[in-house]
Amino acid sequence: DSGVTQTPKHLITATGQRVTLRCSPRSGDLSVYWYQQSLDQGLQFLIQYYNGEERAKGNILERFSAQQFPDLHSELNLSSLELGDSALYFCASGTANYGYTFGSGTRLTVV
Amino acid sequence: ELKVEQNPLFLSMQEGKNYTIYCNYSTTSDRLYWYRQDPGKSLESLFVLLSNGAVKQEGRLMASLDTKARLSTLHITAAVHDLSATYFCAVVNNAGNMLTFGGGTRLMVKP
């Protein structure tokens, strides 16, 4: 157990639907980072939150959004899902000087 | 834009042999990370390299960082089957909030 908790582990949903992925960072970490891993794009940074505030944005689609709550857990919302959104979604917590720990991921399948 | 390239992308080797995976990156950074990923699983942190000349070893794996050459290496000594996995290097941006990953090296160690 890495200390970063992600739920659910698997999601199967239809095109056009909306899903929410949840992440709790390691105890003591204030940041949450979201990454997408797909066969064609590899591992890509989506977005970072630090203590409730958005701090950095990567290649995140407008259909995707995230937030971090006062208890520091984060949710990644994916809407108007397309087949191409099927991927593994990871969250991570940590810092540059101590390294980043990844959760077990959520495998999203859009059918 | 920070770019990270790994080579080789695929490596098949015999048990007992040595080999090196290379990770080149495009802009100045003095912090680099190596991860291991088993199929369908999370990213396991292997090494955190924080300065020029950093060298870290764990078991049969040794990682080094040359920030002037923008190059990191992951050296495998006397490979064993359990090392079969995909290995990723990642570089953090100057703000410390976004990892850019290489494409990964899929390692297969044959008995």
* Band (B28; pLDDT cuts 50, 70, 90): confident
Nearest residue on chain A to B1, alpha-carbon basis: A58
Neighbours of A71 (CB within 10 A): 8
What are A5-52's pLDDT values in tens digits?
A: 999 999 999 999 999 999 999 999 999 999 999 988 899 999 999 999
What are A60-105's pLDDT values in tens digits?
A: 999 999 999 999 999 999 999 999 999 999 999 999 999 999 999 9
A54/A56 Cα distance (integer angstroms): 6
DSSP codes, B48-110: EE-STT-EEEETTEEEEEETTTTEEEEEE-S--GGG-EEEEEEEE-TTS--EEE---EEEEEE
A31, A43, A50 ranked by CB distance to B101: nearest: A43
Does B97 reach chain A within 8 Å, measured CB to CB? Answer: yes
3 state DSSP class of A19: strand
B10/A71 Cα distance (integer angstroms): 42
CB distance B72 to B49 below 8 Å = yes
B22/B14 Cα distance (integer angstroms): 19
Q: Which residue has the tokens 């990682």?
A: B63
Cβ-Cβ contacts under 8 Å, A100 against chain B: 33, 45, 99
Q: Do B100 and A104 touch (CB under 8 A)?
A: no
pLDDT above 80: residue A1: no
